Amino acid sequence: MLIIDGKGFPISSIKIIEKGSRTKMPRSFPLDHVRNIGIIAHIDAGKTTVTERILYYTGKTYKIGEVHEGTTVMDWMEQERQRGITITAAATTCHWKEHRINIIDTPGHVDFTAEVERSLRVLDGGVVVFDAVAGVEAQSETVWRQADKYGVPRICFINKMDRVGADLYRCLSMIEERLRAKPILVQLPIGKESSFCGIIDLVERKAWTYDGKIDSKSQEIEIPDEEKDKVERYRQILIEKLAEDDDHILSTYLEGCDIAADDIKAALRKITLANKGIPVLCGSALKNKGTRLLLDAVIDYLPSPLDMPPVTAIHVRTGDKITRIASDEAPFAALAFKVVADPFVGRLVYLRVYSGRIKAGAQVYNSTRSKKERIGRLMLMHANRYEEVNDADTGSIVAAMGLKETFTGDTLSEATQQVILESIIFPEPVLSVAIEPKTRADRDKMGEALQKLAEEDPTFKVAYNDETGQTVISGMGELHVEVIISRMLGEYKVSAKVGNPRVAYKETIKTSAKAEGRFIRQSGGRGQYGQVSIEIEPVERGSGFKFIDKIKGGVLSKPFILAAKNGIKEAMETGGSAGYQVVDVQVTLYDGSYHEVDSSELAFKMAGSMAFKKGFNRAHPVILEPVMKLELITPGQFLGDVVGDVSSRRGRIDLIETRGETSTIRCKVPLSETFGYTTVLRSLTQGRATHSMEFYQYRELPAELASELRDKAIGKK
């Protein structure tokens, strides 16, 4: 339904904040006064609530949005407001104490892990939010590993300190044990659980109290007498941790001198930037306690673009590794990390500018795809609203219109200085659903909608099954696929029949084998001839496809070798003995023959495909199934029932941890056994247990189940 405003104009899902002439993006913020940060955490830890408070206190918004009311700025999609979760990473810009802070609020649900992946790829720092009651949860570990992968310095915010069961010190030990990090506590709470009313800063020996009201300012007070000994004890621990990595703090400490707050801050910043320690803060975002101190910590401890190492790139023409320093004067280089297809405004490409400067209307070069592009307009994003700007300088995160051939992971650079930045690698989908349009008109609408949704989300795949005539869509889990379908039906108005979820099985081999592929067709006139000999071998799980060319002496020309390789890749895609995609194999092409007249690339493509299928069937093929990492939190009285149910689902228990009346179970369960698990768990535990799940790895399917799948595949054929 098209929504019309009071003047008769359509209201887009993306709204303009400021109309009129373009404003020049201010360089009144020196580069060392810019912070590009992400808010990351497990689902329900309070990321979006933290971001909403930051926007309010920095003056970006004039009313605090609440997740439970569906009024947040950052969760602007209809799906997000209905479900009360973040689905897509939303970007915004705000200002605090003469610093510009670019923020990306990321999803916490594992099904949308790609949003976290691409955000961390382009950010300089992160704020990791933890629930003070739950501590380190399953998805907390996932986002932490993603931040480690990209070397992102971070600070921790222990949220929900006012909840029953909140335990700051347990959270610290969990960060140390489960994340193998070095937490450095810089704040202490005043009060506990419902009596939590203030925060003590260990660095400056200052204390503040809060009344929880939105517009009330914190009151600075003297440190309560009953807290003074604890403050000195934990300040001592803070200094000792800093002394392990900072020589100045160590020498001052050994001399017995009191260490100034500025020296502690400088050491904390240095250790944070080097990823040797993590400052830990506390508060309650919902009750407006600790947000301003968190903003101060972002500026004090997280890096500017100048603090990060120069970005490494590959020179397109020479293939050499080169660096791009963070400077407006350096050659332009930017990474496209997100594509949004808005039904009214058009296609938006989010860019992180690593070096140089770009103006609206300028021509750029897509080094990844070897194509020239023109930037139409540049916008500073504020969730689904934008402010048009004239140019984007180093360190900026902006959205560009007019880039038709640029996709997630592509590099934009100057045509005379072509470089390719490190791209973003996304996990493969593990769940599939078949969909069919209800009418012929819906077929075209569905194709266009799925294309736009696939451009937005690299973990969402679309394929057409020739045998069944169905379109098969694949995603990272039940919720991911459900949201995609809801968007297709709601946003794009497509009527379609939706099948039941299916597991994305894969196939591989256990031994090596040799095979010959010979494609010969003779029907008068010019025929077809191609012959190749290959060896197929298993490789380490997760390695993908490796092709080795061992043709010597010009037995086959390069085009024929490439054609054979393409035929092998196509055979892998169409599936092995059970019809599933083949992965983790190495194919060596070691011999072949051709005919002067009859040989063609098509013949060698067919020969490569035939050889692969023969070799695959000789190499003891096996079916692989996706296995999920499952974490359950249940009252102790239901522990036996929950463990028994997990075991009945072919689950492997890794750990059972009991704390008070609550037990935590960590286990691995095949994805095929988890459909409808939420309902079963609720019935087993009277609705009192919670669980979270993420993809772990592909494992070999037991022989009897693999045999059943193969029999079904033969029956379909």
The per-residue pLDDT for range 538-581, each reduced to its tens digit, is: 999 888 899 999 998 888 999 999 999 999 999 998 877 788 88
Angle subtended at Cα 491 by Cα 489 and Cα 492, rounded to the nearest 5 degrees: 70
String of b and e for 428-466 (b: at least 16 CB within 10 Å)? bbbbbbbbebeeeebeebbeebbebbbbbbbbbbbeeee
Instruction: Name the more confident of 88 and 313.
Output: 313
| Average pLDDT value for the chain | 85
Question: Are 76 and 439 contacting, i.e. CB atoms less than 8 angstroms apart?
Answer: no
| Lowest-pLDDT range of 194-203, 360-369, 384-393, 601-610 | 384-393
Percent helix, strand, coil in the chain, to 5, is 30, 35, 35
Question: Are 539 and 546 contacting, i.e. CB atoms less than 8 angstroms apart?
Answer: yes
* 82-103 pLDDT per residue, tens: 545 555 667 888 889 889 999 8
Q: Around Cβ 9, how many Cβ atoms within 10 Å?
A: 9
How many Cα neighbours within 13 Å face the side chain of 567?
A: 28
- Provide the pLDDT for residue 333: 93
**Which band of pLDDT confidence, cut at 50, 70 and 90, is reported for residue 343?**
low
Name 599's bridge partners. 529
Angle subtended at Cα 33 by Cα 27 and Cα 36, rounded to the nearest 5 degrees: 100
Q: Which among 216, 24, 23, 38 has a CA at the least distance from the CA of 124?
A: 38
* 429-451 pLDDT per residue, tens: 888 888 888 888 888 888 888 88
